[in-house]
Amino acid sequence: MPFNSVKEEIEHLLKEGLAPSHLEVLDESWKHAGHREAGDATESHFKVIISSDKIKELSLLQQHRKINHLLQSLLREKIHALQIEII
C-alpha cells in the first residue's frame, strides 16, 4: 500500500497492530531542522500519543517495545526519533 507520508505509514501500522481507541501522530521534524543528525530528511522526528486495550495491561517498557516492534522497519530507515506517550 503506497503512503503519502511517513506519518500516514505510522498511523496505518499502529491502527493495524493495536486498534487504538485514541491515536495522534505528530510530525515534529520542523523542531530539528538543521540538526546534523536529521540529515536531509523532512519527516524524521515523531511523537505518538496512543491508547489501546491491546497494551494497557503491559508495563510501560513492554508498551514501548510493542510499538517499536510494530514500527521497526520505519525506525531502521525513516524515523530518526520517536517519542511515545501512552494515555
Say how far apart CA 24 and CA 33 lie, in whole Å: 22
Give me the pLDDT at residue 35, please.
57
Written out in words, the top-level CATH class of the domain with range 6-86 is: alpha beta
What is the band of 49 on the pLDDT scale with cuts at 50, 70, 90?
very high
Say how far apart CA 70 and CA 17 lie, in whole Å: 7
What is the band of 6 on the pLDDT scale with cuts at 50, 70, 90?
very high
CA-to-CA separations, 31 to 16, 27, 35, 68, 71, in angstroms, rounded: 28, 9, 9, 22, 21
Mean pLDDT of the residues in the chain = 91
Residue 16 neighbours by CB under 8 Å, 6+ apart: none
Give me the pLDDT at residue 30, please.
77
Taking 80 as the threshold, does the pLDDT of residue 25 lie above it? yes
